[in-house]
């Protein structure tokens, strides 16, 4: 029915897709070129999908008529998934972006696990090596799927508290050992070993059930403050699983794209863990935030509130202001109002910079995306290492909805769970204003010593409402002068 297509054409299409993936990822390394990088990588994904349909031309469809049905199902799946993702992606709020990334990442892991399941149940794996790789990809993909679903539930507020019980780590280890043991039984079954009690398909079901359970158990005890790192870890897992299943299918595009995503996710995870002064194992296997209660008398004094108008006037007549955005800015949808206020300061010849901590927000890069959405120029945005020394000479540091990333206890209090974590040195500015909805402890549950510092004043209220008052105060000065 179809003319046989040379394998070299399919290989060339896969190579083109892989090149677009790599070039797109390279362009994502800079905020200025990231939008075009995303588009290039998207073209690579389209090329990879279209290339997969070329395999239809390598088989005799007359002898295998089910291939036509499979193509129809694939097209239907693409339409449903593509349209659904387009609609959801356009409607999702910036505050819900971490949840969306987590659940979509889980879908990638689930897709890799599904490929492994098809290969295992169909008995397509040839040789022990290919079978082991299939099982490993299936294990990682299943863990990424269930773990990402739990991460999504935590970020969306469905699971409100970490679930921690005695002996939890031991139970997790037992589940993993059982999972690996079942994988060994499946390999032994493929070698013809008899007396395994159950049939191979039953062992495969048990294998995936244990892998999914492990992903859930591993993620449930992790605290909210560690969610950015968890998302990054599962992103790396998904990429690795896709790469392994690409090896099983002998698909170069899947192998290259999967390894790229896996390597990038792992590197980002290491960077974020370093920014928290913690190891990845510490994130996954310790109860961060469980000991968050400060020692009695450790923090003296009280929080000192001030009016938004007073803070705005102080910044209007300052020489330099450094702004530290946090998740509270995203929650209030206040990024546009913030930049409007910043433009008023710039018009008054005030030097304004934005300071970004690697783990600010609830997903990697959330603050950078938030500011870019508001139109903040890239040359005003600085990362921790590039701006920390500037706080000592800054007239004002304004913190909006951030907590742990500016907590000086990380430098001084050895009893604090965040001790040793690099922070933004907001407390070293001459004056600090913190915009905060209330007197809560923030997402991680740790009391912030900065809020009690003698050079710090609290501006309570929703960030957008506070910034509206600040804008009015500064504009009022101009009106009075006129």
Contacts of 21-25 with CB under 8 Å at 24 or more apart are: 21/45, 21/48, 21/253, 21/256, 21/257, 21/260, 22/256, 22/260, 25/260, 25/264
The strand pairing partners of 382, in sequence order, are: 355
**Residue 17 CA neighbour count, 13 Å, CB half:** 23
Catalytic residue, chosen from 226, 368, 390, 404, is 404
Tokens of 208: 């995936």
Annotated catalytic, 389?
no
321 phi, psi to nearest 5 deg: -130, 135
∠ CA(45), CA(49), CA(51), 5° rounding? Answer: 115
Write b or e for each residue in 410-429: b if 16 or more Cβ atoms lie within 10 A of its Cβ, otherwise e.
Answer: bbebeebbbeebbbbbbbbb
Q: How many CB atoms lie within 10 A of CB 389?
A: 10
Stated length of the chain = 482
CA 73 – CA 10 distance, rounded (Å): 21
CB-CB contact of 351 with 319 (8 Å): yes
CB 308 within 8 A of CB 466: yes
Residues designated as active site? 404
């Amino acid at each position: 029915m179809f003319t046989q297509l040379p394998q070299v054409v399919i290989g060339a299409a896969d190579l083109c897709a892989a090149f677009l993936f790599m070039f797109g990822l390279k362009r994502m390394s800079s905020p200025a070129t990231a939008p075009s990088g995303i588009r290039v990588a998207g073209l690579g994904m389209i090329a990879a999908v279209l290339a997969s349909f070329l395999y239809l031309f390598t088989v005799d469809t007359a002898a295998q008529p089910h291939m036509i049905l499979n193509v129809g199902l694939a097209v239907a799946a693409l339409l449903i998934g593509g349209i659904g993702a387009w609609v959801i992606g356009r409607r999702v709020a910036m505050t819900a972006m971490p949840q969306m990334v987590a659940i979509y990442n889980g879908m990638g892991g689930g897709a890799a696990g599904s490929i492994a399941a098809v290969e295992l149940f169909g008995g397509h794996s040839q040789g022990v090596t290919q079978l082991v790789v299939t099982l490993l990809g299936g294990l990682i993909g299943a863990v990424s799927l269930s773990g990402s679903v739990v991460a999504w539930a935590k970020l969306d507020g469905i699971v409100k508290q970490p679930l921690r019980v005695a002996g939890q780590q031991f139970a997790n280890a037992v589940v993993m050992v059982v999972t690996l043991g079942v994988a060994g039984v499946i390999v032994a079954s493929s070698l013809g070993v008899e007396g395994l009690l159950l049939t191979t398909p039953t062992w495969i079901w048990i294998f995936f059930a244990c892998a999914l359970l492990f992903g859930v158990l591993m993620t449930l005890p992790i605290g909210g403050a560690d969610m950015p790192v968890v998302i990054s870890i599962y992103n790396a897992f998904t990429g690795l699983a896709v790469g392994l299943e690409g090896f099983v299918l002998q698909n170069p595009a899947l192998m290259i794209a999967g390894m790229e995503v896996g390597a990038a996710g792992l590197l980002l995870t290491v960077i974020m863990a370093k920014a928290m002064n913690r190891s990845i194992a510490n994130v996954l296997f310790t109860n961060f935030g469980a000991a968050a209660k400060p020692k009695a008398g450790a923090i003296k004094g009280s929080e000192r509130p001030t009016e938004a108008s007073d803070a705005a006037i102080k910044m209007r007549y300052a020489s330099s202001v450094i702004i530290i955005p946090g998740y509270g800015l995203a929650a209030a949808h206040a990024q546009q109002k913030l930049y409007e206020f910043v433009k008023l300061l710039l018009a008054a010849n005030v030097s304004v910079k934005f300071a970004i901590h690697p783990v600010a927000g609830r997903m990697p890069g959330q603050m950078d995306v938030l500011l870019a959405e508001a139109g903040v120029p890239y040359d005003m945005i600085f990362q921790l290492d590039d701006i920390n020394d500037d706080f000592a000479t800054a007239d004002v540091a304004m913190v909006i909805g951030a907590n742990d990333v500016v907590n000086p206890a990380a430098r001084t209090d050895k009893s604090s769970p965040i001790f040793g974590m690099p922070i933004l040195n907001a407390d070293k500015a001459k004056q600090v204003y913190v915009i905060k909805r209330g007197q809560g402890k923030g997402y991680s549950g740790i009391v912030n010593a900065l809020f009690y510092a003698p050079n710090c004043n609290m501006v309570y209220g929703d960030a957008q409402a506070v910034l509206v008052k600040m804008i009015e105060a500064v504009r009022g000065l101009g009106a009075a002068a006129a």
